[in-house]
Amino acid sequence: MKRTATTALLLSTALLLAATGCGGDDGTDAGGKKTVTLTLNWVPYGEHAPFYYGLSKGYYAAEGIDLKIQPGNGSGNTIKQVAQKQTDFGWADSPVLVKSVASGMPVRSIGSYLEKGPASVEFFAEKNIKTPQDLKGKTVGGTPGDALYATFPAWLERNGLTKSDVKVVNVDAAGKIAALAEGKVDAIMGFFHDQAPTIENKTGKKVDVLLFADYGMNLLGTGLVANTQTLEKDPELARRFVRATQKSWTEAAKDTAGAVTAMAELAENEPPAEVLTKQLTLALPLIGTDEAPGVNTEAQWGETVDLMSRYAELKDPGAPTAYWDASYAAKG
């Protein structure tokens, strides 16, 4: 039987309690580790493998953390759970975090790990789309309300096209892949490192992509989110969690096969191993190489905030520090 992360954690806790008879009232187990929950942005896919790798290798345990990884149902829902203290930390898309802070949620980013955003237009290679200009006259599926949909018209403009040059078809997030596979649209807006391998696996067709970041518009991708009260009351926990996460991502990049194996063993409802491998391989180059994973600059956050302000109805944006706390992710 496959051993899941939850099962492993429950068994570990049960054994410790049986041996000692009690745990701490502050969330620590009998071994002195604090149980910490991380809610993902979606059901597990390849980008999440470093977390399972760190869990498997004991990087979180070494920081006194008994980590429980939970699947998510969209970045917005994950951030709400962080805001409502239903989870300790979240893994969520940075543009969604920006809009959440602007709406009054008590949350902050403590590091965006995908510094090159995965926002893209995806299509089958047989469509022979090579540049943004080749989208003229095509139908593109997108989901109203997300950052890709909001910034797509501006991305077209930056690449010499008008909004009327492309027909945008509104598609629910869960239905975009099916719409592309069934030929209802020529292309879809989405995160290429997640969706492209899944589409190829489902259809047997090669998928090509145009990244927003490669054609004039970069939005920071997914990263860690914390409640502001957590950062105020227990900043050391956040530092320990970030240290373990940085180590997990750094080491997983050196051992992708091991990361995939760890995720396949510990996660639930994950994609097939070959899809996981492709997803992780595509995600890792997005973390940047100048600093440790999750270490961002004010300029990077400034660009994302500016784009959200100009094209995604972000009112009175303020400084990047209103959304992101740089003090937790240490440089390499």
Domains of the chain by range and CATH?
5-116+220-322 (3.40.190.10), 119-215 (3.40.190.10)
- Cα–Cα distance between 56 and 223 in angstroms, integer? 21
- Cα–Cα distance between 229 and 6 in angstroms, integer? 26
Task: Report whether 122 contacts 195 (CB < 8 A).
Answer: yes
pLDDT at 147: 87
Q: Give me the phi and psi of 174, to 5 degrees please.
A: -75, -15
The share of the chain scoring above pLDDT 90, in percent, equals 86
Q: Is the pLDDT of residue 37 over 50?
A: yes
pLDDT at 6: 43
Q: Using one digit for the tens of pLDDT, what is the confidence trace for 42-94?
A: 999 999 999 999 999 999 999 999 999 999 999 999 999 999 999 999 999 99
Task: Give SS3 for 1.
Answer: coil
* Burial call 114-123: b when 16+ CB within 10 Å, e when fewer: bbbbbbbbbb
Q: Using one digit for the tens of pLDDT, what is the confidence trace for 286-316?
A: 998 778 999 999 999 999 999 999 988 899 9
Q: Is the pLDDT of residue 19 over 80?
A: no
The share of the chain scoring above pLDDT 70, in percent, equals 90
pLDDT at 27: 64
Task: Report whether 83 contacts 105 (CB < 8 A).
Answer: yes
Query: For residue 215, how many C-alpha atoms fall within 13 Å in the half-sphere facing its CB?
Result: 21
Strand pairing category for 222-227 and 107-112:
antiparallel
Going by the DSSP 8-state scheme, the letter that residue 292 receives in this structure is: S
Q: Using one digit for the tens of pLDDT, what is the confidence trace for 207-221?
A: 999 999 999 999 999
Confidence of residue 133 (pLDDT cuts 50, 70, 90): very high
Q: Is the pLDDT of residue 25 over 80?
A: no
Task: Give SS3 for 200.
Answer: helix
Burial tier of 86 (Cβ tally within 10 Å: 0-12, 13-18, 19+): middle
pLDDT at 30: 54
Confidence of residue 267 (pLDDT cuts 50, 70, 90): very high
Confidence of residue 28 (pLDDT cuts 50, 70, 90): low
Q: Which of 3-7, 194-198, 276-280 has the lowest mean pLDDT?
A: 3-7
Q: What is the mean pLDDT of the chain?
A: 91
Going by the DSSP 8-state scheme, the letter that residue 286 receives in this structure is: G
List the structure tokens of 175. 């239905």
- Cα–Cα distance between 198 and 165 in angstroms, integer? 28
Q: Taking the model in full, what pTM does it have?
A: 0.89
pLDDT at 228: 98
pLDDT at 14: 39
- What DSSP assignment string belongs to 74-89? -HHHHHHHHHTTSSSE
List the structure tokens of 114. 């995908």
pLDDT at 29: 61
Burial tier of 153 (Cβ tally within 10 Å: 0-12, 13-18, 19+): middle
